[in-house]
A and B are shown apart, each in its own frame.
Chain A
Amino acid sequence: MKLNVKGLEFGYTSMPVLADVCLELAPSEMLGIVGPNGAGKSTLIRCINRILNPQSGRILLDENDIKNMDGIELAKKMGYIPQTASQIFPTTVFDAILMGRRPHIGWRSGEEDHEKVLDVLELLDIEDLAMRDIKELSGGQQQRVFIARALAQEPDVLLLDEPTSNLDIRHQLEVMEIITDLVAKDGISAIMAIHDLNLASKYTDRVLIMKEGKIFDAGSPSGVLTPENIRSVYGVEAEVIHRVDSNGGRPYIVPIRPLTE
């Protein structure tokens, strides 16, 4: 499914947070969004998923404006994993993931839905947690449950807001591989806000750098993740290493020190 964002403007108050954001996402493409805290990454993702309503601009899914889509219809096409989540009442992991099936089912959940929950439980290596209360899990375990929920939703476009922020290095790599795998094999596309520039470099097809609500630069990881860009966006001196190895020539970013003006 093709996603097209045109001239997006948004502000929580009268202060604009996003200004003239445009992007395109092809099927089977993984787009990384990087940028400093408060740059508007989460806001952009929320607008794309219609959690927030932009003041102007259009968001098209295969030429259909999402503004005119029914909630369930949109939920079948787009899945969202928030940066933080706030479960209030106790829920088992199984039921939390089953919620992801909501756009597809009526009141009763069927065998088929349970099978899908079992599939994603296995995929994310959280089978042993299935009957635990989600509020009693560690941050990283919870994060894997949220990812599982979005996968159970079977969307065409996945929106991920820092899905690896709480994960240990093994699970960071595993989750990224699961997502790149889905993107490569199933024609799913993904937009991922991410702080780890090395993960962005290793796994995304294209990187978009945001600064103060605007797109600062966009392109291939090696073209965009340059010492100059990192300096002007983050104010950080960094070394970027290009090595010919199994990483396919993608750059390694080694931060050195924050710059004082």
Chain B
Amino acid sequence: MRIYNRGEMNATEVGTKRAEITAQYKEFIGRKIIFILSCITAICIIAAISATLGSYPITVTEVYHIIVHSPFQNIDISHPITVTELYHTIVHNSFQDFINTNEEYVVWKLRLPRIVMGILAGIGLAVAGTAMQGILRNPLVSPTTIGIAAGAHLGAAIAFILGAGFTSGKLILMGNAFLFALIPAFVIFGLARFKRATPEMMILAGIAMTFIFSSVSSLLHYFSDPDMLKGLVVWKMGNLGNATWGDLFTVSLVLAVCIPLLIWKSWDLNTMGAGDEIAKSLGVNVKRTRIFVMMTASLLTAVVICFTGMITFVGLVAPHICRIIIGGDTRFLIPASGLFGAVFLLFSDTVARTIVAPVIIPVGIVTSCVGGPLFLYLIIRKRREYW
């Protein structure tokens, strides 16, 4: 490195300044890591409490014992195992001869899948929201607010009604949801690119598309037979209760592929936050990165929505709160916001299960009650003039 000398400070003064800045920077990073660890702790605590809540009384220690005696112990890991084998073991074999008591049944079949789905869906939606905000340079963007969630939901509903079914045709369901999620994604893209859309314009377009998708799906409800109707309606409202271990397996797999890809792109997202010109001058292929990140985030959204229905606003709330706490560095923001999304959704679901117990209300209603007002607040008060 070149040595510059400004001539005004003596060497020791310069040395202490550098040390000071370095220490501050390290502390700043430390704070981000502490936040991430706190989120993980919060997830564990809420999950443990949540597992004891419900009409069948089970204590925390009982839950603990039941979980420690996991049916996954039956999985033979002494030899390499393929993904499909693993899937079959989890879905078909391990539970059959394992569940003996009612407690075990309640924990393993009813409560845990719901809790784990809450964690996974929270992570997926929040990460998708963070990534979308980054590439569109717009803090109002999230899967809900630009119509991607509604698109995915409609896609899945169409596949479902055409007979793909919740159990058999999951792949078709997800594929169709992804396809429909891409429609709003590329409309918003086109607007940003060819019409130089303002942030507000993107959101208006998103809301318009949400209306369209949502009325088409209402039309589907209107014509579907009563048996299907209730399922469709509950699903539209966002609900974690239908999760099976097979679903959890699929969602984790998609998360495990998509999220590292997005974290890998976080430098590029950082530079794009400074403006396209800066990003290009730092060697980022802006156009390609945008498309890649948008597709990945849409896939995350589509897969989560397929299994949970319309859970709204997680992808808006999580990045916002995390950005206030740990700043905008995407390298930390993606994991932090994912984990915070999990905390948020898990907590909302716990509320949804207990607020009017024994009736369980759809979790999407709870997240909307929190996210809607925040969204309004963001529109009214442009915090720090983000845009």
Chain A interface residues (CB < 8 Å from chain B): 46, 49-51, 70-76, 78-80, 82, 85-92, 94-96, 99-100, 102-103, 107, 114-116, 118-119, 121-123, 125, 127, 130-131, 133, 135-136, 149, 153, 178, 181-182, 185-186
Report the nearest B residue to A181, measured CB to CB: B4
Which residues of chain B from 136 to 182 have a CB within 8 Å of any chain A CB? 137-139
* Extra pairs beyond A51-B277, A72-B283, A149-B278 (6, CB < 8 Å): A71-B280, A89-B139, A90-B323, A91-B329, A114-B25, A130-B21
Chain A residues, Cβ within 8 Å of B384: 90, 133, 135-136
Interface digits, B1-39 against A, CB 8 Å rule (1 contact, 0 not)? 110101000000010011001101100100000000000
Contact (Cβ within 8 A) B327 A79: no
Chain B interface residues (CB < 8 Å from chain A): 1-2, 4, 6, 14, 17-18, 21-22, 24-25, 28, 133-134, 137-139, 264, 266-267, 270-271, 273-275, 277-278, 280-285, 323, 327-329, 331, 384-387
Report the nearest A residue to B269, measured CB to CB: A89
Chain A residues, Cβ within 8 Å of B278: 80, 82, 85, 99, 149
Chain A residues, Cβ within 8 Å of B386: 88-89
Contact (Cβ within 8 A) B273 A88: yes
Contact of B387 among A49, A88, A125, A130 (CB under 8 A): A88
Contact (Cβ within 8 A) A122 B137: no
Contact (Cβ within 8 A) A71 B139: no
Contact of A90 among B17, B21, B266, B327 (CB under 8 A): B327
Interface of B is mostly: helix
Chain B residues, Cβ within 8 Å of A79: 281
Contact (Cβ within 8 A) B4 A119: yes
A72 to B267, CA, bound (A): 13
Chain B residues, Cβ within 8 Å of A86: 274-275
CB distance from B9 to the nearest CB of A (A): 8
Chain B residues, Cβ within 8 Å of A75: 281-283
Contact (Cβ within 8 A) B385 A135: yes
A130 to B384, CA, bound (A): 19
A74 to B282, CA, bound (A): 8
CB distance from B86 to the nearest CB of A (A): 29
Contact (Cβ within 8 A) B327 A91: yes
A125 to B6, CA, bound (A): 9
Chain A residues, Cβ within 8 Å of B17: 122, 127
Chain A residues, Cβ within 8 Å of B385: 135
Chain B residues, Cβ within 8 Å of A182: 2
8 A-B pairs closest in CB distance: A75-B283, A89-B328, A80-B281, A71-B283, A72-B283, A123-B4, A88-B137, A130-B21
Chain A residues, Cβ within 8 Å of B28: 92, 131
A248 to B24, CA, bound (A): 45
Chain B residues, Cβ within 8 Å of A103: 282-283
CB distance from A168 to the nearest CB of B (A): 17
Report the nearest B residue to A103, measured CB to CB: B283
Report the nearest B residue to A161, measured CB to CB: B277
Contact (Cβ within 8 A) A122 B283: no
A80 to B275, CA, bound (A): 12
Contact (Cβ within 8 A) A82 B283: no
